Amino acid sequence: MTTAARAGAEEDVRRRVPDVGSLMAALDGTNYLADVGLATALFLAVRLPQPILLEGEAGVGKTEAAKALAELLDTPLYRLQCYEGIDAGEALYEWNHQRQLLGIRLAEVRDTGVTETDLFAPQYLLRRPLLQALEHPGPRPAVLLLDEIDRADAEFEAFTFELLAESAVTIPELGTIRATHPPIVILTSNRTRDLHDALTRRCLYHWIDYPGPARIAEIVRRRVPASSGPLALQAAAVITRLRTLDLAKPPGISEAIDWVSALSVLGVERIDPGITEQTWGSIVKNRDDLQLVGSRGAAWLVDGTDG
253 binds, among ligand ADP, Mg ion, none (CB under 5 to 8 A by kind): ligand ADP
> Quick one: CA torsion of 168, 173, 174, 177, rounded to 10 degrees?
0
**Cα dist from 218 to 28, 62, 168, 214, whole Å:** 11, 17, 42, 6
CA distance 211 to 35: 10
Q: How far is the CB of 129 from ligand ADP (least distance, A)?
A: 16
Which backbone phi and psi does 176 adopt, to 5 degrees?
A: -95, 130
Nearer to ligand ADP, 62 or 136 (CB): 62
CA distance 72 to 30: 7
Nearer to ligand ADP, 55 or 90 (CB): 55
Site string for ligand ADP, 11-50 (x = CB under 6 A): --------------------xxx-----------------
Q: Please name which of 65, 45, 46, 47 lies closest in space to residue 55, comparing C-alpha atoms.
A: 65
Nearer to Mg ion, 118 or 150 (CB): 150
* Residue 112 DSSP label: -
* # binding residues, Mg ion (CB under 5 A): 1
∠ CA 83-89-52, nearest 5°, is: 55
Based on the shown chain and the rule CB under 5 A, indicate whether residue 63 belongs to the binding site for Mg ion.
yes
Based on the shown chain and the rule CB under 6 A, indicate whether residue 254 belongs to the binding site for ligand ADP.
yes
CA distance 60 to 190: 10
Based on the shown chain and the rule CB under 6 A, indicate whether residue 221 belongs to the binding site for ligand ADP.
no
Q: How far is the CB of 49 from ligand ADP (least distance, A)?
A: 21
Binders of ligand ADP among residues 59 to 88 (CB under 6 A) are 59-64
Q: How far is the CB of 190 from ligand ADP (least distance, A)?
A: 7
For residues 239 and 251, is the Cβ–Cβ distance under 8 A? Answer: yes
Based on the shown chain and the rule CB under 5 A, indicate whether residue 189 belongs to the binding site for Mg ion.
no
Based on the shown chain and the rule CB under 6 A, indicate whether residue 220 belongs to the binding site for ligand ADP.
no
∠ CA 103-80-19, nearest 5°, is: 130
Among 253, 284, 293, 301, binds ligand ADP (CB under 6 A): 253
What is the contact surface with ligand ADP in residues (CB under 6 A)? 31-33, 56, 58-64, 219, 222-223, 253-254, 257
